[in-house]
Chains A and B, each alone.
Chain A
């Protein structure tokens, strides 16, 4: 079974530029998450989708971050304009349903450096 796929794996951009990350969850998984992991910290939820609807985006900095999940499958996370403090690993994860007992599977992450 294929895992959660993310691209690009690594990206270096200058501040005020834009960047987009793509995620393909495990086939059939209805729930998709984007987490931000800053060096030395644990992952922090940015946004959670159930199919193509947003369940929780309370911690998404909406002035610069946006995310979409068209057709309830792939998802894209965009940052525009980027700030130095956005340097982090962006982890995509998926689970069959957002209910108890379901394991959340993580991708390998997209590493962003803003200079």
Chain B
């Protein structure tokens, strides 16, 4: 079955510290991978996406993610977290045919001062 797992429900990071959010997927076809962020009361905003090529992708707001096929993972990273990064983060998987994305349950990020 196709699925996305985000093992961490809630993470707290100190401002200025580094961040890594985990994402594992199970997908029969070649996956297209996405990270979205959702601030309270807002819709989802795309941070970055991976289709092919370089397995390290850069996104907006200083985020990056690395695709590891052997581990079926697409972890999101940021070297220095800002208080404004506090939000919910969703990993999603799609395919070349453009069928709708399958989302994980999300990870809530809190930033402490």
Number of interface residues of A (CB under 8 A): 27
Residues 67-103 of chain B, each 1 if its beta carbon lies under 8 Å from chain A, else 0 = 0000000000000000000000010101111111111
CA distance A38 to B108 in the complex (A): 15
A109 interface neighbour in B43, B96, B106, Cβ under 8 Å: B43
* A97-B98, A108-B41, A109-B43 as given contacts; A42 in contact with B32, CB under 8 Å: no
B104: chain A residues at CB < 8 Å are 42
Interface residues of chain A: helix, strand, loop or mixed (majority): loop
* A41-B106, A42-B105, A42-B106 as given contacts; A108 in contact with B42, CB under 8 Å: yes
B100 interface neighbour in A33, A97, A107, Cβ under 8 Å: A33
Q: Is the CB of B90 within 8 A of A43?
A: yes
- How many inter-chain contacts with C-beta < 8 Å in the A-B complex? 61
A–B Cβ pairs within 8 angstroms, 19 of them: A41-B105, A42-B103, A43-B44, A44-B103, A48-B99, A55-B99, A56-B100, A91-B44, A93-B44, A97-B98, A98-B98, A99-B98, A100-B32, A100-B97, A101-B51, A102-B98, A103-B46, A104-B46, A109-B43
Binding site for B on A (CB under 8 A): 4, 31, 33, 40-45, 48, 55-56, 91, 93, 97-109
Binding site for A on B (CB under 8 A): 4, 32, 36, 41-46, 49, 51, 90, 92, 94-106
Given contacts A4-B43, A31-B98, A41-B106, 15 further A-B contacts (CB under 8 A): A45-B101, A45-B102, A56-B100, A91-B44, A97-B98, A98-B97, A100-B51, A100-B96, A100-B97, A102-B98, A105-B46, A106-B36, A108-B41, A108-B43, A109-B43
